[in-house]
């Protein structure tokens, strides 16, 4: 056990206490100052958390007699046996902070395997200036020296909070050297902008440094502990902290890992996530578990970003079991065998190829009814890719495509928005407006919309519903799961292809935008479905039954259309002010498709049969409408 120094809260006398081997680590003990005889209580053998706010006054930050050495640009302390077993390399919560709190978490494991504690350049124990702005290079070089010193072929990398970004980058860059990842309440979405600036007289004072760390722990990490414990933690993390080291660590946080890189990780990953942690941390944990094929979620009950420090025997047993299994070379599933890893690019390409190819090909044929060249392409182009890719994998299409949350916000509100858009389009048509974009006349017929009240409008609406299922239920849905920033824009652009016609584009574009916003807020396919249904009735009923269409000619129709469009936009904007209609577990299929860890592989035999028969069925459908 490391000797533990203390400072008397009454007189400031500095002393040292050595804990006997039989004394439980972290148990509170009543100490008496040998100088002033003042008695105080503190948890012996543990820095954080203390049992009382006053106990932090007795701690001496940076006082542990850690026996480390320089390995490359890093300061490294190695504890535990050195018999060639893969060590656990621990990264503290922020690259600029002291590693001492990590002893409380991992010292109990040193009888099983080596544990390596690091400090980056610029810390109190490693004051050398950093040679590189990016901390990945010195970490990778230090990793090689650690493996060489311990004669280990690989290491297990443990990251905490902000350092999880650095751990993920290293695992991506050195997949053979990192056996597994252990992430404690990961934070991936920080902007990496430091706010700690040097003062004109030099480095910030110790009080200002401690306050900056406290703000980071309270705001970014979202620790739920009382302020006294957060301040105590800040005091433990900030010894030797400099403004330059803090800013360098913040700059290192800017290197985010996109989905494609994260999803290609083949190493086992254990993600500990606290149920009362910051929402950003819980969201990142769910995102990693749904994106990495070999990831496993281990929930912790209380403590926020520091919940592992009070995880007790459950945390220890889970970590030991995971490390043992990771060293056993367990087989992992591929990215495409996960719900979020479905071949999105291939599906989009196939959708575009089928939709536009069928539209061009069927336009050369004589079909009866004559509106079928506009109905069949979006219908077949949307349903065939879903049948070919999803059903042979054994995925539940109702769960994957978000047939959920049948309620007022996904039914009544979208229907009203769609009805307003449909009525606005009818009013614009009734006004006599007949402008046509100059790019469309070279393709007559291909981009001509069906007139209102046409017998083919119900069939075209059914085709658009099928397109909405693919565009929003699949493309935008997986884009949200993968944190794609342009998923809504992709959905809008793809929906304009079903079919690209004028003047229907005047209502299809705002309808697609409203559907994308509603789907992102509710994660329910019913929202775009009922918006399209509302648009159909909002435009078709007035066109068929309104007797006074002539009253809307001219400016009256323009004004009414604009007013209805503003009303639809206002109702759509309400969705942006409401709370999301789903939780993190629903977004990432944690309680459904990912719950059992099933491997969703494409079954060749059943898949080929399905492709063959659906192609024959599609050909028979086209032949049935062919005018001979």
Write down the mean pLDDT value for the chain. 87
The secondary structure of 244-257 as a DSSP string is HHHHHHHHHTT-PP
445: pLDDT confidence band, cut at 50, 70 and 90?
very low
Rg of the chain on CA atoms, in Å:
31
Report the alpha-carbon distance of residue 268 to residue 590 in Å, rounded.
Answer: 18
Report whether 171 contacts 267 (CB < 8 A).
yes
* Nearest by Cα to 402 from 300, 291, 526: 526
Report the alpha-carbon distance of residue 515 to residue 521 in Å, rounded.
Answer: 10
Domain residue limits, the chain: 4-58, 69-332, 339-624
Which superfamily is assigned to 69-332 in CATH? Alpha/Beta hydrolase fold, catalytic domain (3.40.50.1820)
Report the alpha-carbon distance of residue 7 to residue 13 in Å, rounded.
Answer: 5
What average pLDDT does this structure show over 359-382? 87
Report the alpha-carbon distance of residue 565 to residue 139 in Å, rounded.
Answer: 56
Q: Which residue has the tokens 């299929």?
A: 589
Report whether 501 contacts 359 (CB < 8 A).
no
Report whether 278 contacts 190 (CB < 8 A).
no
Which residues contact residue 562 at a Cβ distance below 8 angstroms, ignoring those fewer than 6 apart?
A: 424
Cα angle value 421/423/425 (rounded, 5°): 70
Q: What percent of the chain has pLDDT over 70?
A: 93
**pLDDT surpasses 80 at 486:** yes
Which residues contact residue 84 at a Cβ distance below 8 angstroms, ignoring those fewer than 6 apart?
A: 150, 151, 152
pLDDT in tens, 61-92: 766 678 889 998 899 999 988 887 899 999 99
pLDDT in tens, 179-219: 999 999 999 876 544 556 555 556 677 778 888 888 888 88
* Nearest by Cα to 77 from 34, 32, 121, 114: 114
Report the alpha-carbon distance of residue 290 to residue 91 in Å, rounded.
Answer: 23
Torsion on CA atoms 49, 54, 57, 58, rounded to nearest 10: -80
* Nearest by Cα to 92 from 105, 83, 84, 102: 102
């Amino acid at each position: 056990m490391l000797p533990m120094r203390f400072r008397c809260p009454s007189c400031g006398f500095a002393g040292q206490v050595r804990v006997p081997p039989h004394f439980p680590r972290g148990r509170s003990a009543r100490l008496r100052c040998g100088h002033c005889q003042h008695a105080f209580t503190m948890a012996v053998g543990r820095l954080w958390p203390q049992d009382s706010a006053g106990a932090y006054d007795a701690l001496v930050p940076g006082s542990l007699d850690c026996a480390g050495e320089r390995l490359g640009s890093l300061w490294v302390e190695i504890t535990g046996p050195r018999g060639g077993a893969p060590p656990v390399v621990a990264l503290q919560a922020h690259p600029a902070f002291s590693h001492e709190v990590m002893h409380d978490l991992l010292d109990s494991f040193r009888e099983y395997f080596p544990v390596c504690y690091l400090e980056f350049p610029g810390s109190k124990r490693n004051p050398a200036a950093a040679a590189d702005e990016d901390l990945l290079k010195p970490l990778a070089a230090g990793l090689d020296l650690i493996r060489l010193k311990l004669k280990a072929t690989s290491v297990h990398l443990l990251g905490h909070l902000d350092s999880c970004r650095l751990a993920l980058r290293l695992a991506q860059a050195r997949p053979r050297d990192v056996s597994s990842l252990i992430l404690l309440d990961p934070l991936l979405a920080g902007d990496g902008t430091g706010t700690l600036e040097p003062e004109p007289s030099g480095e910030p004072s110790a009080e200002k440094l401690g306050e900056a760390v406290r703000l980071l722990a309270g705001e970014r990490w979202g620790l739920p502990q009382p302020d006294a414990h957060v301040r105590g933690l800040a005091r433990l993390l900030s010894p030797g902290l400099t403004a330059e080291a803090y800013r360098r660590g913040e700059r290192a946080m800017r290197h985010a890992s996109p989905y494609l890189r994260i999803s290609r990780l083949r190493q086992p990953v254990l993600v500990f996530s606290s149920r009362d942690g910051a929402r950003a941390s819980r969201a990142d944990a769910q995102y990693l578990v749904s994106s990495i094929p070999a990831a496993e979620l281990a929930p912790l009950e209380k403590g926020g970003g520091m919940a592992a420090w009070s995880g007790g025997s459950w945390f220890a047993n889970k970590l030991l079991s995971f490390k043992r299994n990771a060293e056993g070379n367990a087989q992992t599933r591929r990215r495409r065998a996960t719900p979020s890893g479905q071949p999105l690019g291939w599906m989009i390409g196939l959708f575009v190829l089928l939709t536009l190819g069928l539209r061009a090909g069927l336009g050369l044929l004589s079909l009866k009814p004559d509106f079928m060249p506009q109905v069949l392409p979006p219908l077949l182009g949307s349903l065939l890719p879903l049948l070919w890719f999803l059903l042979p994998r054994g995925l539940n299409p109702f769960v994957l495509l978000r047939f959920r949350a049948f309620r007022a916000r996904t039914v009544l509100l979208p229907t009203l928005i769609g009805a307003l858009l449909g009525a606005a389009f009818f009013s614009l048509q009734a006004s006599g407006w007949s402008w046509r974009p100059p790019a469309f006349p070279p393709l007559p017929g291909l981009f001509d919309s069906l007139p209102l009240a046409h017998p083919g409008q119900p069939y075209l609406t059914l085709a658009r519903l099928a397109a909405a299922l693919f565009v929003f239920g699949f493309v935008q849905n997986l884009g949200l799961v993968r944190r794609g920033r342009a998923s809504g824009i992709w959905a809008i652009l793809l929906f304009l292809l079903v079919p690209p016609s004028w003047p229907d584009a005047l209502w299809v574009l705002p309808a697609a935008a409203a559907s994308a916003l509603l789907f992102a807020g509710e994660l329910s396919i019913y929202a775009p479905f009922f918006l399209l249904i509302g648009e159909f009735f909002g435009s078709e009923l007035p066109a068929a039954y309104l007797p006074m269409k002539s009253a809307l000619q001219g400016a009256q129709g323009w004004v009414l259309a604009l007013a209805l469009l503003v009303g639809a936009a206002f109702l759509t904007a309400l969705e942006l002010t409401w709370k999301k209609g789903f939780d993190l577990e629903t977004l990432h299929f944690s309680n459904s498709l990912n719950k059992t860890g099933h491997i969703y592989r494409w079954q060749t035999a059943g898949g080929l049969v399905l492709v063959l028969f659906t192609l024959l069925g599609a050909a028979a459908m086209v032949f049935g409408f062919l005018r001979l």
